[in-house]
Structure 1
Amino acid sequence: MAPPAEGSTSEPFEDYSPVLNFVIWVLTGYATIFISLRLWGKHHRGRRLWWDDYLLIASWVALFLGCIFQTVDTGLGFGRSQHSVPVENIEIARLLSTIAGFFLILAAAWSKTSFGLTLLRLTQTDGLLKKLVWFAIWTTNICITGSCIIQWAHCWPLDRVWRQEVPGGKCLPLDLMNGYNMFVAAYSGTIDVMLALLPCKIFWPLMMKRKEKIGITIAMGTGIFAGIASFMKILAIHNVNRPRAGPEHVVVLMALGTAEGAITIVAVCMPVLRTLLMQDSSHLLKSSLLNHIP
């Protein structure tokens, strides 16, 4: 993901890097708190980690690395007006933004996969719903893997991805890349919404208290916000590739990419944390009642 095209020195100076750093680290911090509580809750209850936990940890690592590369990139001029960036920093800034975007894509893919696996494990669902969740997991990973490949392989030789002045070589048509990335954003957002709504279908027929059904549906339904972030990326991808795109458009795209992975991580953690809180509350209530028995 390259910085905007060069402008003239008469352009006004714009610096959105502080905003980007604030947003991405708040989102990552939020995800860090929730995944830490999830892992602590598993340890507290003596539960072993499963594949969804390992994928969630990998997703958080990718998210964290993506934020680190973005922050380093802002120190080189990413998020500022092109004419204010030192010429010697432009190529390395493009490379770092590409690496950051790559890790954010991985964070989104792995967190969605973890969400699907958590849903399968919590519900023990069979039949059509189980096939639907597996379909969502596989197709999402296939589509996002395509984005990862395009991220690096859309130009040849490879270094032309970040060194646009390299003579010779070829790149995929920009319209083709943009079209595919918009499709992936739309499909990914659709899968987020579908996975967030599936608990309504799965839990409501079960013999559970009404408030428990509402609670777990809302907890897992937070994944809808990841879908919203993914849908917003469609417009952001369009804006960042316009001829006169500004630094604010690139910053918005990177922030939305960070938000998509971070929100999904939080959504995956919510059901486990809710179960832990309910068990602890029940234990405290029983202890309080026992203390008042003569």
Structure 2
Amino acid sequence: MGVDYIYFETLPQVQAHLIVNTVLTFLATGCVCLRIVTRFMSGARLWWDDYLIIASVPQGIGMLVLQGMYSKVGVGYPITETLPNLKVILQMLVAYELIFSVAISTIKLSVMMFYLRVFVNQGLRLAVKLVMAFVGLWSLGNILQVFLICRPFAATYDPLVKGECGNQVASFIAIGAFNVVTDVLILTLPIRTVWGLSMSVPAKVGLTGVFLIGLMQSP
């Protein structure tokens, strides 16, 4: 990585977290593969929602790889012991932030493209497009803050570089808060339309549950 660093033994809790994320990444990748296979078997052509969710797979795997690398540089250890690895930890953090920002934006846009593909309600389609514009601007802000939070940029990942940095903790909190807000907006968009469909109440409840279960994943 361009600098020397010390390997640390992975702590049990860090290893457990890595195993859980590995399983979830494997399941998510499998679901995407099944989705694409199903689309081909039904004779349906892939659309933007499919291409976007396919693009999110390597992004998610990249985040998992970075987490695995993190586990070897002292995650969970006292900072006094991991100081020699501070630069490489910060470098990984910058990479993780960037991939995370792109990945969650890709997934959110995929969901909204799916709405545009399956729903014909003009009011819902307009609302989806407005939320897409909001998510696009929010995503751009997330990506820009990775590069603009410190001046010069090298101060973001190198503690020896003199520079000025904004409040990174506040930045992380803002990203997380807006992530939850956009999740709620996206997952509740089709609810009104679903309840206006000509189907049984249990079916409507089931569809509503499918959309709202995604809220459980919000940070």
TM-score range, shorter chain: 0.7 to 0.9
Structure 2 unaligned regions, length at least 5? 1-8
Counterpart in 2 of 1:85?
Answer: 82
Alignment of 1:222-237 (within 5 A): 222-227=213-218, 229=219
Report the count of equivalent residues. Answer: 210
Counterpart in 1 of 2:36?
Answer: 39
Indicate yes or no: 2:149 matched with 1:154.
Answer: yes
Where in structure 1 do 4 or more consecutive aligned residues deviate above 6 Å? none
Any idea what the Cα deviations from partners look like across 1:185-228, whole Å, max 9, x if unmatched?
2232122123222332112212234443333322222221233x
Out of 65, 82, 98, the residue aligned to residue 102 of structure 1 is 98
Alignment of 1:158-177 (within 5 A): 158-166=153-161, 168-172=162-166, 174=167, 177=168
Give the Cα–Cα distance (whole angstroms) in 1 for the partners of residues 140 and 149 of structure 2.
Answer: 13
Out of 16, 25, 48, the residue aligned to residue 51 of structure 1 is 48
Query: Contact (CA 8 Å) 1:144, 1:184: kept in 2 or not?
Result: no
Query: Contact (CA 8 Å) 2:56, 2:106: kept in 1 or not?
Result: yes
Counterpart in 1 of 2:3?
Answer: none
Letter of the 2:175 partner, please give it: V
CA distance change for structure 1 residues 79 and 109 in 2, over 3 Å: closer, same or farther?
A: farther
Letter of the 2:44 partner, please give it: R
CA distance change for structure 1 residues 125 and 181 in 2, over 3 Å: closer, same or farther?
A: farther
Query: Contact (CA 8 Å) 1:17, 1:80: kept in 2 or not?
Result: no
Which of the pair has the greater relative contact order for Cα pairs under 8 Å at 6+ separation?
A: 1
Any idea what the Cα deviations from partners look like across 1:11-42, whole Å, max 9, x if unmatched?
xx993431331232122122112112111111
Query: Contact (CA 8 Å) 2:10, 2:74: kept in 1 or not?
Result: no
Out of 103, 112, 118, the residue aligned to residue 116 of structure 1 is 112
Q: Secondary structure at the match of 1:207?
A: coil
Any idea what the Cα deviations from partners look like across 1:238-286, whole Å, max 9, x if unmatched?
xxxxxxxxxxxxxxxxxxxxxxxxxxxxxxxxxxxxxxxxxxxxxxxxx
Letter of the 1:80 partner, please give it: Y
Out of 18, 28, 38, the residue aligned to residue 25 of structure 2 is 28
Give the Cα–Cα distance (whole angstroms) in 1 for the partners of residues 207 and 155 of structure 2.
Answer: 48
Q: Secondary structure at the match of 2:71?
A: helix
Give me the TM-score of the superposition, normalised by structure 1: 0.65
Query: Contact (CA 8 Å) 1:52, 1:113: kept in 2 or not?
Result: yes
Give the Cα–Cα distance (whole angstroms) in 2 for the partners of residues 98 and 21 of structure 1.
Answer: 19
Counterpart in 2 of 1:17?
Answer: 14
Letter of the 2:188 partner, please give it: L
Counterpart in 2 of 1:179?
Answer: 170
Query: What percentage of residue pairs aligned between the two structures are identical?
Result: 24
CA distance change for structure 1 residues 30 and 81 in 2, over 3 Å: closer, same or farther?
A: farther
Counterpart in 1 of 2:61?
Answer: 64
Give the Cα–Cα distance (whole angstroms) in 1 for the partners of residues 76 and 144 of structure 2.
Answer: 25
More displaced 10-residue stretch of structure 1: 155-164 or 202-211: 202-211
Counterpart in 2 of 1:142?
Answer: 137
Letter of the 1:104 partner, please give it: F
Kindly report the root-mean-square deviation, in angstroms, between the aligned alpha carbons of the 2 structures: 2.3
Any idea what the Cα deviations from partners look like across 1:40-60, whole Å, max 9, x if unmatched?
111111111111111111122
Structure 1 unaligned regions, length at least 5? 1-12, 230-294
